[in-house]
């Protein structure tokens, strides 16, 4: 088994004066794992990722990177260990694709240095890998959502970190582009990188990840291989709706369906009101 690269110990996280979003979260991640964080909206998947990355200070507990306490690391040392792709990045002033990917080289440079030929080569390679090299001089404001995510992925790769934290890297993309992003990640993990990503598409998560963590109810409800985590029982409990998991005989992967809630007879009346054919109408 590979060595442990990331450890969370009794981690608690939250915002401002509100109560904890997560508490007492502990787990270990080994090199080469592709971990998908799944769970209902608002369960704290992104919060967990932000806290692990140090964007949000942990309220309690600690994060260890290769056995070293993240709280003792400088911003730069942290950025050499973990790259982070945030949700909905807004980029002001219309920077070009190449300029954005180049920002990934920032932690590798001393403050007075500028990017050298070696950095240029890495940037080129990352753009080539995610298929955005042709767009190098286009402004990031003027490319499609799918291209944009691949640009941001290239930026994260240019950082050349052993760990990658990706917050919904594929959300909002066409299914083919989503799968492409996941395939990139799986390939990278096979080469020894470790990826932690927040995923909404349960079927895709089951198909591509080597491990899933189901976040809900302020903690990690289930953690393990996709087939262990993706069960009707866990998902129904977490998402609060009846969920059925079916193994697709063609692809061999799990597929997830929500069952409609039982009709208590009120819905017809509500629909009636919404559609505006009430009886008391004149």
Partner 1 sequence: MKIGRIPPKVFFLLMAAVFVLVALLSMSWGQIDIPFKNIVALFCQYAGLPFFADVVVTPEQEAVLFHIRLPRTLVGLMVGAGLGASGTVMQGIFSNPLADPGIIGVSSGAAVGAVAAIAFGLSEVSLFALPICALVGSLAAVTLTVFLAMRHGKIPMMTLLLSGVVVGMMLGAVTAGILTVISEQKLQQYLFWTIGGLDYRRWEHVAMGAGPILLGAAVMILMARHLNILVLGDVEAKAVGMPVAKYRLGMMTIASLVTATGVCISGNIGFVGLVVPHMMRLIVGPDHRLLLPASLLAGGAFLVFCDTVGRVIAAPMEVRVGIMTAFIGTPYFLWLLRRAHNVMR
Query: Does 160 interact with partner 1 (rule: CB under 8 A)?
Result: no
User: Tokens 């208590």 label which residue?
Assistant: 264
| From 22-30, 33-41, 136-144, 234-242, span contacting partner 1 (CB under 8 A) | 136-144
Nearer to partner 1, 118 or 142 (CB): 142
Nearer to partner 1, 109 or 268 (CB): 109
**CA–CA dist 247, 251 (Å, integer):** 8
The closest alpha carbon to 170, from 151, 193, 149, 196, belongs to: 149
**Closest approach of partner 1 to the CB of residue 197, in Å:** 15
Nearer to partner 1, 125 or 142 (CB): 142
Cross-strand bridge partners of residue 256:
245
**CA–CA dist 209, 224 (Å, integer):** 10
Query: Does 256 interact with partner 1 (rule: CB under 8 A)?
Result: no
Query: Does 169 interact with partner 1 (rule: CB under 8 A)?
Result: no
Query: Does 96 interact with partner 1 (rule: CB under 8 A)?
Result: yes
Query: Does 84 interact with partner 1 (rule: CB under 8 A)?
Result: yes
Query: Does 111 interact with partner 1 (rule: CB under 8 A)?
Result: yes
Give me the 197-216 binding string for partner 1, x by CB under 8 A, dash otherwise. Answer: --------------------
CA atoms within 13 A on the CB side of 48: 34
Residue 257: partners with Cβ closer than 8 Å, 6 or more residues away: 243, 244, 245, 246
Total number of residues that touch partner 1 (CB under 8 A): 36
Residues at the site binding partner 1, with contacts judged by CB under 8 A: 53-55, 74-80, 83-86, 89-96, 99, 103-104, 106-107, 109, 111-112, 114, 137-139, 142, 159
């Amino acid at each position: 088994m590979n060595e442990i690269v990331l450890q969370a110990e009794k981690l608690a996280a939250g915002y401002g004066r509100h109560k904890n979003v997560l508490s007492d979260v502990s787990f270990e991640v080994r090199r080469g794992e592709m971990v998908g964080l799944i769970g209902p909206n608002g369960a704290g998947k992104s919060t967990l990722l932000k806290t692990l990355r140090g964007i949000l200070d942990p309220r309690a507990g600690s994060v260890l990177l290769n056995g070293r306490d993240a709280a003792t690391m400088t911003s730069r040392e942290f950025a050499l260990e973990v790259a982070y792709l945030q949700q909905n990045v807004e980029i002001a002033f219309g920077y070009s694709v190449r300029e954005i990917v180049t920002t990934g080289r920032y932690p590798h440079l001393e403050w007075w240095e500028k990017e050298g030929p070696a950095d240029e080569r890495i940037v080129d390679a990352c753009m080539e890998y995610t298929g955005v090299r042709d767009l190098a001089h286009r402004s990031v404001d003027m490319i499609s959502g799918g291209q944009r995510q691949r640009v941001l992925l290239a930026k994260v790769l240019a950082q050349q970190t052993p760990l990658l934290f990706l917050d919904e890297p594929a959300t909002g993309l066409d299914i083919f582009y989503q799968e492409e992003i996941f395939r990139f990640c799986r390939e990278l993990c096979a080469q020894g990188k470790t990826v932690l990503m927040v995923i909404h598409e349960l079927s895709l998560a089951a198909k591509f990840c080597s491990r899933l963590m189901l976040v809900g109810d302020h903690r990690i409800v289930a953690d393990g291989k996709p087939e262990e985590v993706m069960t009707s029982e866990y998902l129904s409990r977490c998402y609060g709706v009846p969920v059925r998991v079916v193994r697709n005989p063609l692809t061999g992967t799990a597929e997830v369906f929500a069952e409609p809630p039982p009709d208590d007879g009120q819905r017809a009346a509500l629909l009636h009101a919404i559609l505006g054919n009430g009886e008391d109408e004149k």
